[in-house]
C-alpha cells in the first residue's frame, strides 16, 4: 500500500514532483519543498485549474493581483486556470508536502 509520506528524502536540494495519477483532464501530483520558492521572475500561468492541499509543512503563495496566502497543514485552495501565482516561501526547517490536482 503506497503512502503519501513514502520516499521523503532527508535532504531536499530541489523540489521533487511525483505524478500519482496522470490522465487527460486530471493529474494528481505530490510536491515536496523545503525552502524552495518559484523563480522571482516567473509566474505559474497554467492552462488547467489546480486544487492544492498542503498536507504538512508551511508555505506561502503570492498571486499577481497582490493576494498573499499562508498555508499550514490541511489548508487547501483552488487556483483557477491562468490565475498567475508563485510559491513565495516554503519553510526551510521542515518539508512541505503538497497534493496538487490539475483538472479541466
Binding site for its own copies (CB under 8 A): 1-5, 20-21, 23, 25-26, 28, 49, 51, 53, 55, 69-71, 74-78, 99, 101, 103-104
| Residue 13: CB minimum distance to its own copies, A | 24
Give the residue from 16, 103, 3 showing the smallest Cα distance to 51.
103
Burial of 14 (0-12, 13-18, 19+ CB in 10 A): exposed
| Residue 82: CB minimum distance to its own copies, A | 16
- Comparing CB distances to its own copies, the nearer of 43 and 103 is 103
Residue entry with cell 506561502: 60
Amino acid at each position: 500500500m503506497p503512502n503519501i509520506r513514502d520516499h521523503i528524502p532527508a535532504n531536499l536540494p530541489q523540489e521533487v514532483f511525483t505524478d500519482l495519477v496522470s490522465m487527460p483532464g486530471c493529474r494528481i501530483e505530490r510536491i515536496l519543498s523545503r525552502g524552495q520558492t518559484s523563480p522571482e521572475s516567473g509566474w505559474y500561468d497554467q492552462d488547467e485549474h489546480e486544487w492544492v492541499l498542503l498536507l504538512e509543512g508551511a508555505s506561502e503563495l503570492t498571486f499577481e493581483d497582490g493576494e498573499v496566502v499562508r498555508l499550514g497543514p490541511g489548508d487547501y485552495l483552488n487556483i483557477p486556470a491562468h490565475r498567475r501565482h508563485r510559491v513565495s516561501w516554503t519553510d526551510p526547517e521542515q518539508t512541505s508536502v503538497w497534493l496538487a490536482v490539475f483538472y479541466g
